[in-house]
Amino acid sequence: MTIDFELLYSFLGKLIIFVAILIIILFILSIIFGRILPKKGIVIFPKFSLFLIDTFYSSFKTIAKLLKLDEHLIDNISIQTRNNINKKKFKEIPASDTLIFLPHCLRHRNCPATLQKNGVNCTCCGLCSIGFIKKKAEPKGYKTYIVPGSSFVKKIVMENKFKAVIGVACHEDLNMMMMLLSDFCPQGILLKKTGCYETRVEVSEILKLINTKN
């Protein structure tokens, strides 16, 4: 049996074009369902929108970049949509079953805390907002971790029993964490200022979230 390579190449070319067009259509649908309609107060198919973003994340990010759209557009849609979907169930889960992940970049440059196996061991020295957040969260039953990367998050997740999680990070890191922990009613809060150290978060947003539980 001989193979007609010309026919095969033609078929593959058409298939690639079809897939590319399909991904672009799905990208447009994600923008409509996850960004445009919610701004008008209309929320439909949020889980479908999340499924598309989770499945075609890298492709959607590439398309957004090629179109010179907001570099955080896809992450923002994913974070906000997942927050909205999980909001009600998150409130019903006790604080004692909820983990809080704070990024180590919130630390002050003169932070005296040391890095240990479960992240940074905050001493609540008062130089940054981490200690203040810990003092508000832990008496309620929350477990708070200051992590330098996703490898620490994965380790902590494996060593703890929990049902919900609060995460604070920059756009891409927060979205990746929420995808990773999508089965645990994640609620995400974006950093107001990003960087390697002395980043900032709206502390009132964290307090509002941790106070939603009884």
Per-residue pLDDT reduced to its tens digit, 42-51: 888 899 999 9
User: Exposed/middle/buried for 159, CB within 10 Å: 0-12, 13-18, 19+?
Assistant: exposed
Residue with tokens 């203040």: 132
pLDDT surpassing 80 at residue 24: yes
- Global pTM reads 0.89
Residue 205 CA to residue 208 CA, distance in Å, equals: 5
The residue-averaged pLDDT of 188-205 equals: 92
Q: What is the predicted pLDDT for the residue at 4?
A: 66
Q: What is the predicted pLDDT for the residue at 175?
A: 95
DSSP labels, 31-84: HIIIIIHHHTT----HHHHHHHHHHSHHHHHHHHHHTT--TTHHHHHHHHHHHH
Read off the DSSP letter of residue 203. Answer: H
Q: Give the SS3 label for residue 10.
A: helix
CA-closest candidate to residue 177, choices 75, 86, 92, 94:
75
Cα angle 23, 58, 48 (rounded to 5 degrees) comes to: 55
pLDDT-based confidence at 134, cuts 50/70/90?
A: very high
CA-closest candidate to residue 86, choices 14, 186, 191, 168:
186
Residue pLDDT, tens place only, 50-94: 999 999 999 999 999 999 999 999 999 999 999 999 999 999 999
